Amino acid sequence: MCHYPTLDNAETLTEYTNKLLQSMQRVYGAQNEMSIATQQLSKQLLAYEKQNFALSKGDEEVISTLQRFARVVDELNSLHTELAKQLADTMIFPMIQFRERDLTGIHLIIIPFSCLFLAEHDAAMAKYSKLPKRRENEKLKSEVVAEVASARKKQHQTSLQYYCALNALQYRKRGAMLDPLLGFTQGQINFFKMGVEMFSKTLEDFLSSVATMVHSIQGQLDTEAESMRLTQQELLLANESVYIPDNNATAAQPAKRNLLQKAGYLNIRNKTGLVSTSWERLYFFTQGGNLMCQPRGAVAGGLILDLDNCSVMAVDCEDRRYCFQITAPSGKTGIILQAEGKQEYEEWICTINNISRQIYLTDNPEAIAIKLNQTAVEAVTPMSTFQKKHESLRPERFYCFTDSLLHQVFVVRLLGSVEARSDQSSELIHEAMRQVLAARAIHNVFRTTELHLVVNSSSLRFVEPQTKVQRISFALKDVTLFATNQDNKRLIGLVVRTNTQTPRGATLNCYIFETNDDGEKICSFIKFGKDIAQTEKVRGF
């Protein structure tokens, strides 16, 4: 076994050196990470300008300040990068060199060779000890003696080299311990010197202004927080009725009927089967001429319905309050929605009606909305008013005139009437239908008066089914225009000329009815009656 008294010292030094190198590498790693981190910090500060923050009040000042800070961080990054290079060159490299060249050299080169030469000496001594005593062989003896001498010489030389290496190691050890620390300290001193040089008067003024700005922002925050605290306290002390949907206090406030956009939560009716339905509470809002819906958790809203030329009306649905239906221009069944209160209910109906008329595309949509709603209020004609307009035309009882060439009876319900500007186009009737339906929805009018419409070759008569009392009668010659709804053939409109004692003379009124039959059939009979009347007139009847 090979054994050297000073080998334990070399192993102890090696263990200590490895631990010291690990500590130095941690210092270098931290410094290198600081260099990388400051570089990343500078990039992140510059990226603030490209962010699209929803709340961006005062961001211009913040952006310019962060850009200045980014330049400062870039300069600090250059200092940290330079310090990391100095630590690598003056601290890590000398220590690694000492460990690999001096300590590892003793263990990997000198000690194995020493053990090898010692084994050769032992083998030569074994041969020498076996030389015979009685029959000496001078030649063999001289060879063995020479072999022993050579082994002892090699062993001696190796031992001298080993001890010389150990002696040199004692000196190199002291240098190896001090030199890296000298490089570390000098690097830190240079780092701080360059930092002091970089910290100019301009930078000091900049930091002072930033500190003042931060203090000002904190003051504004404190003021705003106190204001919000007082506002919150005031709101919390308000009447509990504000939290109650459709309470009396809210209902007393008039609905805003001139809105062109609206947003809020509504219940929507969904069909889940052939006869089953479900209701879902969702957030709805209008955008231009579209009704949008944004489910919970969604980042944006989606299109529900194009409101242009749509009709909206109040409906009774599943014994629920405040329901209204939106129907597409094609006449297909639209959607049924439910508001939580009367005010919301009326405002939604008015808003959708305003949008459906496309007044949001005009130059002064608010003024047109006001005028539109004034017209809509006048569009619902009560039955008493309807009768009063034509009292002079009403007999006390209705009798069937069997001598007429035409006699046809239809069941109709009066929905309302508006004054007509002219009788030149059926589009006027379609416009009147939209106004009447919107007005009935806005004013929550569900009741209608059922009448029998009797068409003959001379007049249109409206009779109560039970009492047979004639309510009104129009001469066919005064019915100047008639048409059905393009999408709902059960709606029919009549434009009637009425002679009045006013300076304007004759007036035109458009009456809107709903029938159980096909409106086209009624129109064809009215046209047939007018043709008969014209024929009779030509013949001189």
pLDDT digits (tens, 9 = 90+) for 240-257: 777 777 765 455 567 788
Is 233 within 8 Å of 225 (Cβ atoms)?
Answer: no
- Rounded Cα–Cα distance for residues 119 and 169 (Å): 26
Shared domain for 468 and 426, answered yes or no, is yes
Task: Kindly tell me if the per-residue pLDDT of 194 is higher than 70.
Answer: yes
Percent of the chain scoring above 90 in pLDDT? 20
- Rounded Cα–Cα distance for residues 118 and 112 (Å): 10
Q: Which two tokens stand for residue 459?
A: 């007049």
Domain boundary among 199, 216, 235: 199
Shared domain for 188 and 44, answered yes or no, is yes
Starting at the edge strand that comes first in sequence, how are the strands of the sheet with 449-456 ordered?
Answer: 470-475, 459-463, 449-456, 407-419, 507-515, 491-498, 479-484
At 54 the pLDDT is: 67
Shared domain for 392 and 353, answered yes or no, is no
Shared domain for 332 and 393, answered yes or no, is no
Shared domain for 394 and 299, answered yes or no, is no
CATH of the domain at 28: 1.20.1270.60
Say whether 154 sits in a helix, a strand or coil. Answer: helix
Which range marks the domain in which residue 492 is found?
A: 383-539
Question: b/e for 72-103, b at 16 or more Cβ within 10 A?
Answer: bbbbbbebbbebbebbbebbbebbeebbeebb
At 247 the pLDDT is: 67
- Rounded Cα–Cα distance for residues 4 and 443 (Å): 112
Q: DSSP class of residue 92?
A: I
Domain boundary among 199, 231, 247: 199
- Rounded Cα–Cα distance for residues 295 and 302 (Å): 9
What mean pLDDT is predicted for residues 518-530? Answer: 86
- Rounded Cα–Cα distance for residues 438 and 356 (Å): 10
Is 491 within 8 Å of 497 (Cβ atoms)?
Answer: no
Shared domain for 337 and 438, answered yes or no, is no
Position 28 confidence tier, pLDDT thresholds 50, 70, 90: very high
Shared domain for 316 and 403, answered yes or no, is no
Q: How far is CA 204 from the centre of its chain?
A: 42
- Given the structure tokens 């076996």, which residue do they identify? 130
Is 473 within 8 Å of 461 (Cβ atoms)?
Answer: yes
Q: End-to-end alpha-carbon separation of the chain, Å?
A: 152
Tally of domains within the chain:
3
Give kind and range of the element (H or E) at residue 100. none
Shared domain for 64 and 103, answered yes or no, is yes
Shared domain for 438 and 482, answered yes or no, is yes
* pLDDT tens digits along 94-151: 999 888 887 776 666 555 555 666 777 788 788 878 777 777 777 888 888 888 888 8
Residue 20 lies in a domain: yes
Residue 251 lies in a domain: no
Residue 369 lies in a domain: no
Residue 167 lies in a domain: yes
Shared domain for 277 and 394, answered yes or no, is no
- Between 285 and 502, the more confident residue is 285
- Rounded Cα–Cα distance for residues 434 and 427 (Å): 11
Sorted by sequence, the CB contacts under 8 Å of residue 99 that are 6+ apart come out as: 14, 17, 18, 21
CATH of the domain at 323: 2.30.29.30
Task: Kindly tell me if the per-residue pLDDT of 392 is higher than 80.
Answer: no
Written as one string, the DSSP assignment of 286-333 is EETTEEEEE-TT-SS-EEEEE-TT-EEEE--BTTBSSEEEEE-TT---
- Between 171 and 85, the more confident residue is 85
- Rounded Cα–Cα distance for residues 434 and 386 (Å): 19
pTM above 0.75, yes or no: no
* pLDDT tens digits along 290-314: 999 998 888 788 889 888 878 787 7
Position 384 confidence tier, pLDDT thresholds 50, 70, 90: very low
Percent of the chain scoring above 70 in pLDDT? 83
Task: Kindly tell me if the per-residue pLDDT of 22 is higher than 90.
Answer: yes
